[in-house]
Chain A
Amino acid sequence: MTAMLRIVSAGPGSTVQDGGRHGYLRYGVTGAGPMDPFAHALANRALGNAPGSAAIEVSLAGMEVSAEDGPVTVSIAGGAFQVTLDGQAMPSAAVMRLEPGGKLKLRAGAAGMWSYLAIAGGFELPQVLGSSATHTRTGMGGLDGRMLQPGDRLAIGAAAGEIATGRIVAPLLERPAETIRVLLGPQDDYFSADQIAVFLAGPWTISPRGDRMACFLEGPRLSHQLGFNIPSDGVAMGAIQVPGEGLPIVLMADRQSTGGYPKIATVIGADLGRLAQARPGTRLAFRAVSHAEAVQARAAEQGFLSREITIEPLIRNRFSSEFLFGLNLVDGWVDARARE
């Protein structure tokens, strides 16, 4: 019998996301995919899954899941969520074995907006245009194109071999958002040099209006020197458009494929997750970098993901200070091995 993952409880905003729906932007189809691509890839890699495998993107509203019809091995990575496995506190980035009837609970923790729950064996989901990424605005992908809700059951494929459990060692997950790196353009010439300086310095505050489509910024109002209407052109994830009212909007995973406002800059790939994990109220500034620097930052992330991911066993009498820091609740940690 195939094991299932049951959603016991789920606040709004959690969806299934794979690496994204690629190849159909030219037909107006949004790529969707994870808000924090690095954390999504890391959760998968910790289980030996391909980096773009489907995982659950858990929102700040939290989720509780349970295994049915067999044990499952899951991993989580992303924001510093509060995580409990059968009532015992776990690190916010970890690989865990969930016994049948066992319960894994994720709640908002010290920091971060999204946590990724990947599964050994992968989720068995129908593909729409080659992907299981959920895009709720068009009702596409995932589970009936919608957010996950209590009572949903997700079928799991057969997992291959034994998988080490424990804390995922990934210092790259600690990513303060005070400075977000950008490449200027593609329409930075719509803004005078002093307006670009204002844009970079900010400071910007992340508005609570944001969702998977866009991150809205509050701060100084920018003015355009060449108007604010352009013939619609392609929009990359991280594009920062400036509509007529002058407040920048960073377009994220669920953005439309094209747009008609000038884009002053684009967040570099390595800082997309950093921005996505920043909560409303976070203050930030931008720093313009060169293409070479952006590629270098991307290479550092990819290099980390392509090496063996270190999983540190959760052993009570041999904990390290990193292990303690990885816990959100120091008084509730668990000796996973002693329970076997």
Chain B
Amino acid sequence: MNGAPATPPLFLDAGEAALVVEFGRTVDADISDRVLALDAALAAAAPEGLRELVPTYRSLMIHYDPLQLDRAKLIALVEQHLHAPVARKTAAALWTVPCCYELPHGEDLAEMAGLLGLPAAEAARLHAAARYRVYMYGFSPGFTYLGGLPEALAISRRTKPRPPHDSKAILVGGGLSAIASFPMPTGWYVVGRTPERLYAPDRASAFLFEPGDSLRFEPIDTATFAALEARAESGEIVARRQTP
């Protein structure tokens, strides 16, 4: 936290049963920190009637039952937490996620690198050298939005979506990177694929990352991909987690 006092958030209704606490309008690590601090504080001392918390880039959506939890009381509670920020219950972890940039997995790597005026190998090297922040999930189960993409890889999304990619695709587009858990058509570029399962309802932890975690990609070849994928499918977690 820096010394300047933070701007107070806006309280916006999303219907009578959801309140959006909006800290800003940009994608920014400091704003995300404030979102996640409030998320942790409310989760640690959930009032009666609080249903679900959804942290995103710059706001926290609080789903609640307005018949059990009065809107004014909820806002007062949020304001109280803003004045006494609570640290995350679990410290942010650093994840190392294996990623195969080779064909057939990195389907669009050469195309994207060409548009950026880079050799494909250099684009892959830059992507793997960066340290990312898990900002949020959205879109589909386990779809992870990552900030921290190197400037050299910043590319707009496609004007027309490309055909469906495989599950576990590593994507780049709109100045961000992402990991997609389900196959679907996308406007992003598919630069690689991870053998890890981002959504595994049969595993004790169906999801691996928490918003606020850090993440880096470890390049692997296709043979390693196949071996790790077999282990991941049998229930093992092949991404590595370190805590500071």
Q: Most chain-B Cβ atoms within 10 A of its Cβ — which of A236, A268, A298?
A: A236
Total number of B residues with any Cβ neighbor in A under 8 Å: 43
User: Whole-angstrom distance from the CB of A248 to the nearest CB of chain B?
Assistant: 15
B133 at interface by CB-CB < 8 Å: no
A28 at interface by CB-CB < 8 Å: yes
Q: Are B201 and A129 in contact (CB under 8 A)?
A: yes
A54 at interface by CB-CB < 8 Å: no
Identify B140's interface contact among A28, A128, A269, CB under 8 A.
A28
B80 at interface by CB-CB < 8 Å: no
* Chain A 240-273 interface mask (CB, 8 Å, partner B; 1/0): 0000000000000000111100010011110000
User: Whole-angstrom distance from the CB of B102 to the nearest CB of chain A?
Assistant: 28
Q: Which residue of B lies closest to A260 (CB)?
A: B138
Q: Which residue of A lies closest to B70 (CB)?
A: A295
Q: Most chain-A Cβ atoms within 10 A of its Cβ — which of B12, B15, B22, B136?
A: B15
Q: Which residue of B lies closest to A25 (CB)?
A: B54
Q: Are A266 and B14 in contact (CB under 8 A)?
A: yes
Give Cα A28–Cα B210 distance, bound, in whole angstroms. Answer: 12
Give Cα A22–Cα B16 distance, bound, in whole angstroms. Answer: 18
Q: Which residues of B contact A128 (CB under 8 A)?
A: 201
Q: Are B57 and A298 in contact (CB under 8 A)?
A: no
Take A28-B143, A236-B17, A294-B16 as given contacts and tell me if A231 and B53 are in contact as well, using a CB distance cutoff of 8 Å. Answer: no
Q: Which residue of B lies closest to A271 (CB)?
A: B15
User: Whole-angstrom distance from the CB of B235 to the nearest CB of chain A?
Assistant: 16
Which residues of chain B in 188-237 are interfacial with respect to chain A, using CB atoms and an 8 Å cutoff?
199, 201, 206-207, 211
B158 at interface by CB-CB < 8 Å: no
Q: Are A291 and B207 in contact (CB under 8 A)?
A: no
Total number of A residues with any Cβ neighbor in B under 8 Å: 43
Give Cα A153–Cα B56 distance, bound, in whole angstroms. Answer: 41
Identify A26's interface contact among B58, B137, B199, CB under 8 A.
B137
Q: Most chain-B Cβ atoms within 10 A of its Cβ — which of A28, A138, A299?
A: A28
Q: Which residue of A lies closest to B58 (CB)?
A: A231
Give Cα A230–Cα B52 distance, bound, in whole angstroms. Answer: 22
A98 at interface by CB-CB < 8 Å: no
Take A183-B16, A232-B136, A236-B18 as given contacts and tell me if A27 and B59 are in contact as well, using a CB distance cutoff of 8 Å. Answer: no
Which residues of chain A in 21-35 are interfacial with respect to chain B, using CB atoms and an 8 Å cutoff?
22-30
Q: Which residue of A lies closest to B211 (CB)?
A: A26
Q: Which residues of A contact B138 (CB under 8 A)?
A: 28, 232, 256-259
Give Cα A268–Cα B66 distance, bound, in whole angstroms. Answer: 12
B173 at interface by CB-CB < 8 Å: no
Which residues of chain A in 9-41 are interfacial with respect to chain B, using CB atoms and an 8 Å cutoff?
22-30
B149 at interface by CB-CB < 8 Å: no
Q: Are A256 and B140 in contact (CB under 8 A)?
A: yes
Give Cα A187–Cα B14 distance, bound, in whole angstroms. Answer: 9
Q: Are A269 and B61 in contact (CB under 8 A)?
A: no
A185 at interface by CB-CB < 8 Å: yes
Give Cα A140–Cα B200 distance, bound, in whole angstroms. Answer: 12
Identify A291's interface contact among B16, B142, B181, B182, CB under 8 A.
B16
User: Whole-angstrom distance from the CB of A287 to the nearest CB of chain B?
Assistant: 14
B241 at interface by CB-CB < 8 Å: no
Which residues of chain A in 128-168 are interfacial with respect to chain B, using CB atoms and an 8 Å cutoff?
128-129, 137-138, 140
A70 at interface by CB-CB < 8 Å: no
Q: Which residues of B contact A302 (CB under 8 A)?
A: 67
Q: Are B61 and A234 in contact (CB under 8 A)?
A: yes
Q: Are A299 and B67 in contact (CB under 8 A)?
A: yes
User: Whole-angstrom distance from the CB of A31 to the nearest CB of chain B?
Assistant: 8
Q: Are B66 and A295 in contact (CB under 8 A)?
A: yes
A238 at interface by CB-CB < 8 Å: yes
Q: Most chain-A Cβ atoms within 10 A of its Cβ — which of B17, B25, B60, B145?
A: B17
Q: Which residues of A contact B142 (CB under 8 A)?
A: 27-28
Q: Which residues of B contact A263 (CB under 8 A)?
A: 14
Q: Are A23 and B14 in contact (CB under 8 A)?
A: no
Q: Which residues of A contact B53 (CB under 8 A)?
A: 26
Q: Which residues of B contact A298 (CB under 8 A)?
A: 16-17, 66-67
Identify B14's interface contact among A24, A28, A140, A236, CB under 8 A.
A236
Identify B206's interface contact among A22, A129, A138, A294, CB under 8 A.
A129
Q: Which residues of A contact B27 (CB under 8 A)?
A: 231
| 12 more CB-based (< 8 A) A-B contacts, given A25-B63, A239-B15 | A129-B201, A186-B14, A230-B25, A231-B27, A232-B138, A234-B18, A236-B61, A236-B63, A258-B137, A266-B15, A269-B16, A269-B17
- Chain A contacts to B: CB under 8 angstroms: 22-30, 128-129, 137-138, 140, 183, 185-187, 230-239, 256-259, 263, 266-269, 291, 294-295, 298-299, 302
In the A-B complex, the 4 residue pairs with the smallest Cβ-Cβ separation, listed nearest first, are A234-B61, A258-B138, A294-B16, A186-B12
18 intermolecular pairs with C-beta atoms under 8 Å apart: A26-B137, A28-B137, A28-B140, A30-B141, A138-B182, A183-B16, A186-B12, A186-B14, A186-B20, A232-B139, A234-B14, A234-B59, A234-B60, A257-B138, A258-B136, A298-B16, A298-B67, A302-B67
- Chain B contacts to A: CB under 8 angstroms: 12-18, 20, 22, 25-27, 51-61, 63, 66-67, 71, 136-143, 145, 181-182, 199, 201, 206-207, 211
